[in-house]
Chains A and B, each alone.
Chain A
Amino acid sequence: MTSTSDFAISVPSDTSQARQVQDRIIELLEKREFSERDLFGVRLALEEALVNAIKHGNGMDPTKQVYVDCQFTDDRVRIVIQDEGGGFDSSTVPDPTAEENLDKPGGRGIMLMKAFMSHVEYNDVGNRLLLEKLRDEPEEDDD
Protein backbone atom coordinates (compact mmCIF):
# COMPACT_ATOMS: atom_id res chain seq x y z
CA MET A 1 0.00 0.00 0.00
CA THR A 2 1.45 3.36 -0.95
CA SER A 3 0.92 6.64 0.79
CA THR A 4 0.60 10.10 -0.74
CA SER A 5 3.60 11.15 1.34
CA ASP A 6 5.89 8.64 -0.37
CA PHE A 7 8.66 10.20 -2.41
CA ALA A 8 11.92 9.46 -4.15
CA ILE A 9 14.57 12.06 -4.77
CA SER A 10 18.19 12.35 -5.85
CA VAL A 11 20.40 14.96 -4.22
CA PRO A 12 24.01 15.86 -4.99
CA SER A 13 26.77 15.03 -2.50
CA ASP A 14 26.06 18.04 -0.36
CA THR A 15 25.18 17.72 3.33
CA SER A 16 22.97 20.82 3.44
CA GLN A 17 20.80 19.49 0.60
CA ALA A 18 20.72 16.07 2.24
CA ARG A 19 19.59 17.73 5.44
CA GLN A 20 16.62 19.24 3.62
CA VAL A 21 15.54 15.71 2.72
CA GLN A 22 16.05 14.75 6.35
CA ASP A 23 13.83 17.68 7.45
CA ARG A 24 11.16 16.67 4.95
CA ILE A 25 11.02 13.11 6.31
CA ILE A 26 10.91 14.34 9.92
CA GLU A 27 8.09 16.76 9.09
CA LEU A 28 6.07 13.94 7.54
CA LEU A 29 6.63 11.81 10.64
CA GLU A 30 5.59 14.72 12.86
CA LYS A 31 2.36 15.02 10.90
CA ARG A 32 1.85 11.33 11.46
CA GLU A 33 2.37 11.92 15.18
CA PHE A 34 5.36 9.73 15.67
CA SER A 35 6.73 10.18 19.20
CA GLU A 36 9.56 12.59 20.03
CA ARG A 37 11.78 9.62 20.77
CA ASP A 38 11.06 8.10 17.36
CA LEU A 39 11.76 11.44 15.68
CA PHE A 40 15.07 11.74 17.53
CA GLY A 41 16.11 8.26 16.45
CA VAL A 42 15.08 8.66 12.81
CA ARG A 43 16.78 12.05 12.52
CA LEU A 44 19.99 10.71 14.04
CA ALA A 45 19.96 7.62 11.79
CA LEU A 46 19.28 9.73 8.69
CA GLU A 47 22.08 12.12 9.59
CA GLU A 48 24.55 9.25 9.98
CA ALA A 49 23.34 7.45 6.85
CA LEU A 50 23.36 10.52 4.60
CA VAL A 51 26.74 11.74 5.81
CA ASN A 52 28.16 8.24 5.26
CA ALA A 53 26.70 8.12 1.73
CA ILE A 54 28.05 11.56 0.82
CA LYS A 55 31.42 11.33 2.54
CA HIS A 56 32.44 7.68 2.43
CA GLY A 57 30.23 6.51 -0.45
CA ASN A 58 30.49 9.36 -2.94
CA GLY A 59 33.73 10.76 -1.55
CA MET A 60 32.14 14.26 -1.45
CA ASP A 61 32.14 14.24 -5.26
CA PRO A 62 29.54 16.86 -6.25
CA THR A 63 28.89 15.12 -9.58
CA LYS A 64 27.68 12.02 -7.74
CA GLN A 65 24.17 11.70 -6.37
CA VAL A 66 22.59 10.20 -3.31
CA TYR A 67 19.25 8.56 -4.01
CA VAL A 68 16.62 8.54 -1.27
CA ASP A 69 13.38 6.60 -1.47
CA CYS A 70 10.92 7.05 1.36
CA GLN A 71 7.72 5.12 1.97
CA PHE A 72 5.24 5.59 4.77
CA THR A 73 2.51 3.44 6.23
CA ASP A 74 0.48 4.14 9.36
CA ASP A 75 2.93 2.48 11.68
CA ARG A 76 6.28 2.67 9.95
CA VAL A 77 8.62 4.53 7.65
CA ARG A 78 10.94 2.77 5.24
CA ILE A 79 13.87 4.71 3.78
CA VAL A 80 16.34 3.47 1.18
CA ILE A 81 19.54 5.47 0.72
CA GLN A 82 21.86 4.64 -2.15
CA ASP A 83 25.13 6.27 -3.14
CA GLU A 84 27.29 5.94 -6.23
CA GLY A 85 30.34 4.63 -4.40
CA GLY A 86 31.94 1.22 -4.55
CA GLY A 87 30.40 0.14 -1.26
CA PHE A 88 32.02 -1.46 1.77
CA ASP A 89 31.75 -4.54 3.92
CA SER A 90 29.78 -3.46 6.98
CA SER A 91 30.86 -6.61 8.85
CA THR A 92 34.47 -5.38 8.90
CA VAL A 93 33.69 -2.18 10.84
CA PRO A 94 35.34 -2.65 14.25
CA ASP A 95 33.15 -2.63 17.36
CA PRO A 96 33.53 0.90 18.76
CA THR A 97 32.39 -0.25 22.20
CA ALA A 98 35.21 -2.79 22.57
CA GLU A 99 37.56 -1.80 25.39
CA GLU A 100 40.45 -1.13 23.00
CA ASN A 101 38.28 1.05 20.73
CA LEU A 102 36.32 2.98 23.34
CA ASP A 103 38.56 6.03 23.16
CA LYS A 104 38.90 5.99 19.37
CA PRO A 105 36.85 8.69 17.69
CA GLY A 106 35.37 6.83 14.69
CA GLY A 107 32.91 4.07 13.86
CA ARG A 108 29.83 4.90 15.90
CA GLY A 109 27.43 5.94 13.14
CA ILE A 110 26.32 2.47 12.05
CA MET A 111 25.96 1.40 15.66
CA LEU A 112 23.64 4.35 16.39
CA MET A 113 21.55 3.63 13.30
CA LYS A 114 21.11 0.02 14.41
CA ALA A 115 20.21 1.06 17.94
CA PHE A 116 17.62 3.67 17.00
CA MET A 117 16.00 2.07 13.96
CA SER A 118 13.87 -1.08 13.92
CA HIS A 119 15.68 -2.56 10.94
CA VAL A 120 18.96 -1.64 9.24
CA GLU A 121 20.27 -3.54 6.26
CA TYR A 122 23.02 -2.94 3.71
CA ASN A 123 22.96 -4.58 0.29
CA ASP A 124 25.81 -6.98 -0.51
CA VAL A 125 27.89 -4.28 -2.18
CA GLY A 126 27.38 -1.88 0.72
CA ASN A 127 26.25 1.15 -1.25
CA ARG A 128 22.54 0.83 -0.53
CA LEU A 129 21.08 1.03 2.94
CA LEU A 130 17.58 0.23 4.13
CA LEU A 131 16.39 1.99 7.27
CA GLU A 132 13.06 1.06 8.76
CA LYS A 133 11.36 2.48 11.82
CA LEU A 134 8.23 1.11 13.43
CA ARG A 135 6.20 3.54 15.49
CA ASP A 136 6.69 3.63 19.26
CA GLU A 137 8.65 0.51 19.85
CA PRO A 138 8.90 -0.76 23.39
CA GLU A 139 12.34 -0.01 24.76
CA GLU A 140 14.80 -2.81 24.23
CA ASP A 141 16.83 -3.89 27.19
CA ASP A 142 20.16 -4.80 25.69
CA ASP A 143 22.33 -4.58 28.78
Chain B
Amino acid sequence: MAASHHRLDLEDVGDVTVAAFIDKKILDESNIQVIGNQMFSLVEDDGRRKIVLDFGNVEYLSSAALGKLIVMDKKVKAANGQLRMCAVRPDIYEVFRITKLNKLFTIFDTRDLALEGF
Protein backbone atom coordinates (compact mmCIF):
# COMPACT_ATOMS: atom_id res chain seq x y z
CA MET B 1 0.00 0.00 0.00
CA ALA B 2 0.97 3.62 -0.35
CA ALA B 3 1.44 4.03 3.38
CA SER B 4 4.70 5.91 2.87
CA HIS B 5 2.92 8.43 0.69
CA HIS B 6 2.50 11.25 3.17
CA ARG B 7 -0.85 12.94 3.36
CA LEU B 8 0.07 15.27 6.24
CA ASP B 9 2.52 18.17 6.26
CA LEU B 10 4.23 18.25 9.63
CA GLU B 11 5.77 21.24 11.36
CA ASP B 12 7.11 21.42 14.89
CA VAL B 13 6.45 24.66 16.72
CA GLY B 14 8.12 24.34 20.11
CA ASP B 15 6.65 21.21 21.67
CA VAL B 16 3.57 21.38 19.46
CA THR B 17 3.20 19.41 16.23
CA VAL B 18 1.15 21.07 13.52
CA ALA B 19 -0.16 18.53 11.02
CA ALA B 20 -1.74 20.05 7.92
CA PHE B 21 -3.90 17.90 5.67
CA ILE B 22 -2.54 18.00 2.12
CA ASP B 23 -5.70 16.81 0.40
CA LYS B 24 -8.56 19.03 -0.68
CA LYS B 25 -10.94 16.10 -0.56
CA ILE B 26 -10.76 13.53 2.21
CA LEU B 27 -13.22 11.07 0.72
CA ASP B 28 -11.51 8.06 -0.74
CA GLU B 29 -11.51 5.11 1.63
CA SER B 30 -7.92 4.04 1.05
CA ASN B 31 -6.76 7.63 1.33
CA ILE B 32 -8.69 8.03 4.59
CA GLN B 33 -7.01 4.88 5.85
CA VAL B 34 -3.55 6.29 5.08
CA ILE B 35 -4.38 9.66 6.63
CA GLY B 36 -5.74 7.92 9.74
CA ASN B 37 -2.63 5.81 10.14
CA GLN B 38 -0.37 8.84 9.75
CA MET B 39 -2.35 10.77 12.35
CA PHE B 40 -2.37 7.87 14.81
CA SER B 41 1.34 7.34 14.31
CA LEU B 42 2.01 10.87 15.63
CA VAL B 43 0.71 9.76 19.01
CA GLU B 44 1.45 6.04 19.02
CA ASP B 45 4.89 5.90 17.38
CA ASP B 46 6.30 9.41 17.79
CA GLY B 47 4.87 10.01 21.25
CA ARG B 48 3.67 13.50 20.36
CA ARG B 49 1.25 14.91 22.90
CA LYS B 50 0.30 18.37 21.64
CA ILE B 51 -1.10 18.24 18.15
CA VAL B 52 -2.82 20.82 15.97
CA LEU B 53 -4.66 19.52 12.90
CA ASP B 54 -4.73 22.22 10.22
CA PHE B 55 -7.72 21.95 7.84
CA GLY B 56 -6.73 24.93 5.68
CA ASN B 57 -6.59 22.87 2.48
CA VAL B 58 -9.64 20.72 3.13
CA GLU B 59 -12.73 21.44 1.04
CA TYR B 60 -14.58 18.16 1.50
CA LEU B 61 -14.59 15.35 4.00
CA SER B 62 -16.93 12.44 4.51
CA SER B 63 -18.30 10.68 7.56
CA ALA B 64 -15.55 8.07 7.17
CA ALA B 65 -13.00 10.85 7.71
CA LEU B 66 -14.97 12.06 10.76
CA GLY B 67 -14.60 8.54 12.15
CA LYS B 68 -10.81 8.81 11.93
CA LEU B 69 -10.84 12.23 13.62
CA ILE B 70 -12.92 10.82 16.47
CA VAL B 71 -10.51 7.92 16.93
CA MET B 72 -7.57 10.35 16.80
CA ASP B 73 -9.18 12.52 19.47
CA LYS B 74 -9.62 9.44 21.67
CA LYS B 75 -6.02 8.31 21.19
CA VAL B 76 -4.62 11.73 22.07
CA LYS B 77 -6.83 11.99 25.15
CA ALA B 78 -5.88 8.44 26.23
CA ALA B 79 -2.21 9.48 26.03
CA ASN B 80 -2.97 12.53 28.22
CA GLY B 81 -2.29 14.76 25.26
CA GLN B 82 -4.25 17.55 23.66
CA LEU B 83 -5.66 17.82 20.16
CA ARG B 84 -6.66 21.10 18.60
CA MET B 85 -8.03 21.82 15.16
CA CYS B 86 -7.80 24.98 13.11
CA ALA B 87 -8.55 26.73 9.82
CA VAL B 88 -11.78 24.81 9.28
CA ARG B 89 -13.79 26.19 6.36
CA PRO B 90 -17.40 27.18 7.07
CA ASP B 91 -18.80 24.23 5.08
CA ILE B 92 -16.64 21.77 7.00
CA TYR B 93 -17.47 23.46 10.29
CA GLU B 94 -21.11 22.96 9.39
CA VAL B 95 -20.40 19.22 9.11
CA PHE B 96 -18.88 19.30 12.62
CA ARG B 97 -21.82 21.31 13.92
CA ILE B 98 -24.48 19.02 12.45
CA THR B 99 -22.79 15.97 13.92
CA LYS B 100 -22.16 17.87 17.19
CA LEU B 101 -18.46 17.10 16.90
CA ASN B 102 -17.80 20.79 17.50
CA LYS B 103 -18.58 19.89 21.12
CA LEU B 104 -16.08 17.04 21.16
CA PHE B 105 -13.29 18.78 19.25
CA THR B 106 -11.42 21.95 20.23
CA ILE B 107 -11.51 24.16 17.15
CA PHE B 108 -9.73 27.48 16.54
CA ASP B 109 -10.15 29.92 13.65
CA THR B 110 -6.46 30.05 12.75
CA ARG B 111 -3.24 28.15 13.29
CA ASP B 112 -1.83 31.04 15.35
CA LEU B 113 -4.85 31.01 17.67
CA ALA B 114 -4.56 27.24 18.05
CA LEU B 115 -0.90 27.58 19.02
CA GLU B 116 -1.54 30.39 21.47
CA GLY B 117 -1.13 29.17 25.02
CA PHE B 118 -0.84 25.54 23.90
Query: Do these two chains really belong together in a complex?
Result: yes
Give the interface of A toward B (CB within 8 A). 15-16, 19, 36-37, 40, 43-44, 47-48, 51, 96-97, 102-109, 111-112, 115
Q: Which of A16, A102, A107, A115 contacts B98 (CB 8 A)?
A: A115
Interchain CA distance A111-B101 in the complex, whole Å: 13
Q: How far is the CB of A59 from chain B (nearest CB, A)?
A: 14
Identify the closest chain A residue to B59 (Cβ): A40
Chain A residues closer than 8 Å to B68, beta-carbon distance: 105
Give the interface of B toward A (CB within 8 A). 27-29, 60, 62-64, 66-68, 70-71, 73-74, 91, 95, 98-101, 103-104
- What are 15 A-to-B residue pairs whose CB atoms are below 8 Å? A40-B60, A40-B91, A44-B95, A48-B63, A97-B99, A102-B101, A102-B103, A102-B104, A103-B74, A105-B66, A106-B63, A107-B63, A108-B63, A108-B66, A109-B62
Contact A103 B70 (CB under 8 A): yes
Identify the closest chain A residue to B70 (Cβ): A105
How many pairs of A and B residues are in contact by the CB < 8 Å rule? 54
Identify the closest chain A residue to B72 (Cβ): A105
Asked if A51 meets B60 with Cβ closer than 8 Å, knowing A15-B28, A102-B104, A104-B70, the reply is: no
Q: How far is the CB of A111 from chain B (nearest CB, A)?
A: 6
Q: How far is the CB of A16 from chain B (nearest CB, A)?
A: 8
Contact A47 B71 (CB under 8 A): no
Contact B62 A96 (CB under 8 A): no
